[in-house]
Chain A
Amino acid sequence: MSDFSETWSLVRGRLIRDLEGLSHEQLNWRLHPGVLTLAELAVHVAGVEVSFGSQLIGAELDELQLRLKAAATDGSVNDKPFPFAPEELTPEFVAKAFEIGNAMIQPLIENPTDEIRAKEIVSALGPVINGTGAFARLAYHPGYHQGQAYIIKTAPGFPS
């Protein structure tokens, strides 16, 4: 047991399974103004992966990856609008966002070098953290939002 890859995979898988098979309407149903929809929280989770991963390896991002990176903070930890409109947040797009996040993080978290573990990046909430701290946060972040997904899916009015 040398890193958080197994936990990340397990916890992330639970969130993805909870969202699988949901319709566009269900993914974009908002329980209350001011809280994220299921699609937004999923894309936010993928966005944090893109943000952390790109900072850890110094990757240049394409337009879509940049918008995903913005979803790490915009509309969730600050007052800016969420960078994707509900019309864009289809089941297929949510799955694609998770694939992009996975492609960014999986190679790093499964085989982290000492250099990556020590690399300093800015976390979604603002503090500077190192690579090990980033992996620890990534491993539990989907679980944080899985708890919220449960509340949304069991709320009165959630589309059937």
Chain B
Amino acid sequence: MKVVEFLIHQTESQIDKLFAAARAIPADKLDWEASSESRSVRCQLQEVATAIDQFWGMYADRKLEWSPEKTELWLTERKSIVELDELEATTRAQFARLSEFARALSEEDLTATIESPMPTPWSMADILTYPLWNMAYHEGQINFISALLKAEAKNV
């Protein structure tokens, strides 16, 4: 299996695990936050579901464009996706778009540098792994929220 195909396989498996974790959360707790500085399960999924399109320029134009206005708009617009089924469908559709894009890349494309304001240089291969890392990060948080909710329920 080529590395891009393996990465796609891994990321699709990660989407499965992410939404399995989310579906283990009681529906009335999807907006629960562990603290004022951390985010609910739904808020995290709204980010994951829309991040690829939001940063599509990173892939297609090899350039990360970032502004407070653009971020503010993203934060507002993504809240319109509410239900888990819809969030999962959006996540899968956006990742399918990225998969198709990745399959067409050459070895040379994978090592191309992405123009970004970040201090560490990123290659195309680096940013192709980003959805997998991000979903693993949020799966960890969602499972942690699940453990906290169970612990709280025992104490009630």
| Interface of A toward B, CB cutoff 8 Å | 1-2, 6-7, 10-11, 31-35, 132, 136, 140-141, 143-148, 150-151, 154-156
Contact = CB atoms under 8 A, between A and B. Distances in A.
Nearest to B124: A1
Q: Which 3 A-B pairs have the closest CB atoms?
A: A144-B140, A154-B37, A147-B140
B34 A151 contact: yes
Interface in B80-126: 107, 110-111, 125-126
B138 interface: yes
Nearest to A31: B148
Contacts of B107: 1
B152 A145 contact: no
Interface stretch (B22-30, B49-57, B67-75, B128-136): B128-136
Interface of B: 3, 6, 10, 14, 34-35, 37-38, 107, 110-111, 125-126, 129, 132-133, 136-141, 143-145, 147-148, 150-152, 154
Given A7-B129, A144-B139, A148-B140, A154 B35 contact: yes
B15 to A, nearest CB: 13
B144 A147 contact: yes
A131 to B, nearest CB: 13
A7 B35 contact: no
Given A147-B138, A150-B38, A136 B144 contact: no
Nearest to A2: B3
A151 B129 contact: no
Contact of A32 (B129, B139, B148): B148
Nearest to A140: B136
B35 A148 contact: no
